[in-house]
Amino acid sequence: MLKRTILLAIYLLVAICATVQADELDHVRKLVAQWEKRGDPDSLALVLAARDATYYNYGLSDSLLHHAPLDMERLKGYKKWKQYYEVWMYRINTYIYYNNQKSLALRDVQAMYEDAKERDNEYGMGIAYYAMGNVYVCMGSLDESADAYQKGLDMLSDLDPLPPVIPELYSNYGDVLNDQKKYQQLEELTVRWKSFLEEFIPQNKLTDAEKDITWFYYDIACVQAALGLGDNKRAERMLLDARKHIPLNLDFLEKSWLSQMTLLRMRQGNYQEAFDLSNRRMDLVSEDEDKFTYISDIVQRAEILDHLGRYRETSLLYKDLYHIIDSINRADTKSQLTEMNTIFQVDDLKMQQERAQFRNTLIIVGIIVLALVIFIVFRIIAARRLKKAHDQLQQTHEELLTAYDQLEETTAAKERIESDLRIARNIQMGMVPRTFPERPDLDLYASMTPAKEVGGDLYGYYLTGDKLYIALGDVSGKGVPASLFMAQATRLFRTLAAQEMMPAEIAVRINDALSGEDNETGMFVTMFLGLIDLATGHLSFCNCGHNPPVLLKDGKPAFIDMVPNAPIGIIPELEYEGEEIADISNCTLFVYTDGLNEAENRQQEQFTDERLLEIMEQTPFESCEQTVETLKAEVEKHRDGAEPNDDLTMICVKVIRDN
C-alpha cells in the first residue's frame, strides 16, 4: 500500500511541475518534507530522485545543484545506489546542458565512474558511460562520445529489469553516428534498437503517447541511416511510419519530422516541395522561439534557396547564421567564466565577458572558417552571374545593361563579406583575455591591436596555484589564414600549460602539431613561452625565434640574452632549448611583437629598439597597465596618422615580493 502511495506521489510531483510556477514548486518541497517525516528509506529515495529529475527536466539548475549533493549523501547513507547514480547524472547533465561547464562535468563524470567501479555497481558504471557520452558530445569529441555510448549500452542492456534510460541512450547514440556520417553503423544500431524496444515496451507500463514518442525516435534514426546510404525509398517509408507516431500537439516532433522530410525532398531534387516543407516547419515556431532551432536548419534552407535561384535570400540567411553564432559565443563566454570561477573558487572575481580565453577556441576557429565559406559562396554566386552576363553580351544592348546591374550586385556582396570579416575581428578580439588576476604578489596586463580585420598575433596566460604561464607570439602573414594558425597555437598553449609542462616541452609539442605535411601553407609563428614561480620569482622560458623581451631592474631596462631557437612550425621534430633566470622578483618583464619596434611613420621610419628602451627608462614604473598603455600611445604618436604595418601585441608581468 505504501509503495503504491509513493508512486502516486511521484506522478503527482511530475504533474505539479508541468507548468513551473513558484507556488507549485513550494508545494513540491512540502510533498518531499511529508515523506521525510515518514522516515522510510525506500519511499524517500524515490521521492528525492523524482524531485531532482523535475528540477533537471525544467532547467532549474540552481535548485538542482543545491539539492543534488545533499540528496546524494542521503541516498548513499540509505545505500540506494540506483537513485544515487541517477541524481549524479542529473547534476552532470545540468553542468553541460544548462551551465555549459564542460570541464567540470568531465571531472564529475570520471569521479562517478570510479565510484561505481569501486562498488562494482554495473548500473552506476553504465549510467556513468551514458553521462560521459553526453559530455563528449558537448565538447565536440564525437569519437569518444560514440565509444562511451556503446559501452553504456552494452552494460545497461544486460541488466534486469531494463533501465528506462536506455531508449534515450539509443537516440543520443544514433544522433552521434549520424553526425559522424557512419550510416552503415547507424543502420546496424537500428536493428538492435528495434529488438530492444520489442522487449522493453511490454515490460513497462507506458502510455500510448510514451510508446509513440519512443517509436518515433527509432523511426527517425532509420530515416537518417537510409538517407545516408542513399536508400530514398526506405527513408520515405520510415518517414510515413514516424508520422503515425507523432502525438497531437507535440510540435517539436512535428518540426523534427518536417526537417527530415525536407532533406529527403532535397535528395530527390524536388526543391520546390522542400521549400514548402521548410515553410511548414517555420509556421510551427512560436513567437518566443528562434526562427531556426539548429544551425543545420539555416544551412538546409539556404541550400534550397540557392537551388531555386533566390541568391539574395541565401546571402541573408548566412548573415543570420553569423548573428546566431555570435550570440551563442557571448553566452558561452559567460558560462565558461562561471565554470572557471567554480574550479578555482575565485568568488570575488567578477564575471566579465572580456575573459574570453576560457571560451571554446574551436568555436572561434569555426566562425573564422565560416567567413571563408561565406566568401566562397558569394564567389560561386558571382561566377554564375558573370557567366550569365557573358552570354547576354552576345545579344542585345538591353541585356548588356542587365549584366552590368548584376555586376553591381556582386560588388555589394563583396562589401558585405568585408563587413562580416569585421565581425570576425570582434570575435577574435574577444578570444584573448581582457581581465587579469587580482593578487597582491602579481601585476599582469596585456594588449593586442590587429593591423587588419583579423590578425595573427596572440597572447595568453594560464595561472594554477603559484605557477603563471605566459605566451606571446607572432604568426607569419596577416588576415584570415594567420588568424586560423593563431587560434591553433593559442588552443595548444592552454592545453599543454594545463598539463604543467615546462616551456621548452610546450614548444616541442606545439611545433610537432603545427609543422609537417599538414602545414601546406608553410606558415610559422615566433613565440615566447614563460613559466614564473610566484613564490620564488624563478623564471623558466623558451624563446622560439621571437624578439628578446625586456627586463626592467632597478629602473634600468635591458634585453634578455637568449638561445636562438627556430620559430615554431618550420622544422618538424625539432628539440627546443629552455633557459631560466633565478629570480625576477620586483623586476618588470616586458614581452612584445615587432609591431612595436618596427612600427613605421609616414616616412617609413621605424620606432626602433633604442626608443623602446629609452621610453621604459624615462617613464617611472607605476603598473604593468601603465607601461603597456604608455608604449601603445607612443607608437600611435610615432605613426603620425600612418596606417599600421603590423599587429601590435604586448604583455607585461611583475612579481611583487617583500625583501
pLDDT for the residue 38? 67
What's the average model confidence in pLDDT over 414-426?
A: 54
pLDDT for the residue 399? 53
Kindly indicate the confidence band of residue 403, based on its pLDDT and cuts at 50, 70 and 90. Answer: very low
5-10: list long-range contacts, CB under 8 Å, 24+ apart: 5/43, 6/35, 6/42, 6/43, 6/46, 6/47, 7/46, 9/35, 9/47, 10/46, 10/47, 10/50
Is residue 534 over pLDDT 90?
Answer: yes
What's the average model confidence in pLDDT over 559-580?
A: 90
Share of the chain above pLDDT 70, in %: 73
- List, for residues 43-92, the tens digit of each pLDDT value: 778 878 888 888 888 778 888 899 899 989 988 988 989 989 999 999 99
Strand partners, 220: none
What's the average model confidence in pLDDT over 351-356?
A: 42
Half-sphere exposure of 157 (CA within 13 A, CB side): 16
Compare 355 and 323 and report the one with higher pLDDT: 323
pLDDT for the residue 57? 80
- List, for residues 596-605, the tens digit of each pLDDT value: 999 999 999 9
Is residue 513 over pLDDT 70?
Answer: yes
- List, for residues 208-246, the tens digit of each pLDDT value: 888 888 899 999 999 999 999 999 999 999 999 988 988
pLDDT for the residue 297? 73
pLDDT for the residue 351? 37
pLDDT for the residue 187? 94
**Of 327-336, 383-392, 458-467, which gets the smallest average pLDDT?**
327-336
pLDDT for the residue 531? 98
**Alpha carbon distance 655, 443 (integer Å):** 7
pLDDT for the residue 256? 86
Give the rounded distance of the alpha carbon of 43 from its chain centre.
41
pLDDT for the residue 201? 87
**Alpha carbon distance 196, 166 (integer Å):** 9
Kindly indicate the confidence band of residue 528, based on its pLDDT and cuts at 50, 70 and 90. Answer: very high
What's the average model confidence in pLDDT over 38-42?
A: 72
**Alpha carbon distance 239, 260 (integer Å):** 8
What's the average model confidence in pLDDT over 198-217?
A: 87
Mean of the per-residue pLDDT values for the chain? 80
By C-alpha distance, which of 457, 482, 479 is closest to 595?
457
Is residue 177 over pLDDT 90?
Answer: yes
pLDDT for the residue 23? 52
What's the average model confidence in pLDDT over 19-27?
A: 51
What's the average model confidence in pLDDT over 624-644?
A: 94
pLDDT for the residue 18? 41
By C-alpha distance, which of 655, 257, 594 is closest to 451?
594
Kindly indicate the confidence band of residue 11, based on its pLDDT and cuts at 50, 70 and 90. Answer: very low
Kindly indicate the confidence band of residue 194, based on its pLDDT and cuts at 50, 70 and 90. Answer: very high
pLDDT for the residue 392? 56
pLDDT for the residue 372? 53
What's the average model confidence in pLDDT over 156-180?
A: 90
pLDDT for the residue 333? 41
| Global confidence as pTM | 0.49
pLDDT for the residue 100? 81
Compare 33 and 144 and report the one with higher pLDDT: 144
pLDDT for the residue 445? 97
Which three cell numbers, joined as nine digits, stand for 199? Answer: 522487449
Would strands 442-449 and 539-544 be described as parallel, antiparallel, or unpaired?
Answer: unpaired
Compare 594 and 24 and report the one with higher pLDDT: 594
pLDDT for the residue 113? 93
Is residue 537 over pLDDT 80?
Answer: yes
Tally DSSP H helices, then E strands, for the chain. 23, 10
Question: 68 with 91: CB under 8 angstroms?
Answer: yes
Is residue 446 over pLDDT 70?
Answer: yes
- List, for residues 290-323, the tens digit of each pLDDT value: 444 556 677 788 888 888 888 778 767 766 665 5
Which three cell numbers, joined as nine digits, stand for 396? Answer: 542585345
Kindly indicate the confidence band of residue 142, based on its pLDDT and cuts at 50, 70 and 90. Answer: confident
Is residue 656 over pLDDT 50?
Answer: yes
CA separation (Å) from 349 to 88, 107, 337, 386, 466? 28, 23, 10, 56, 17
Question: 56 with 16: CB under 8 angstroms?
Answer: no
Compare 9 and 440 and report the one with higher pLDDT: 440
Would strands 539-544 and 550-553 be described as parallel, antiparallel, or unpaired?
Answer: unpaired
pLDDT for the residue 369? 54
**Alpha carbon distance 625, 541 (integer Å):** 22
- List, for residues 85-120, the tens digit of each pLDDT value: 999 999 999 998 888 888 888 899 999 999 999 999
pLDDT for the residue 449? 87
pLDDT for the residue 385? 57
Question: 550 with 512: CB under 8 angstroms?
Answer: no
pLDDT for the residue 395? 60
Is residue 5 over pLDDT 90?
Answer: no
**Which run of H or E residues covers position 492?**
helix 479-497
pLDDT for the residue 52? 84
- List, for residues 319-351, the tens digit of each pLDDT value: 666 555 555 444 444 444 444 444 333 333 333
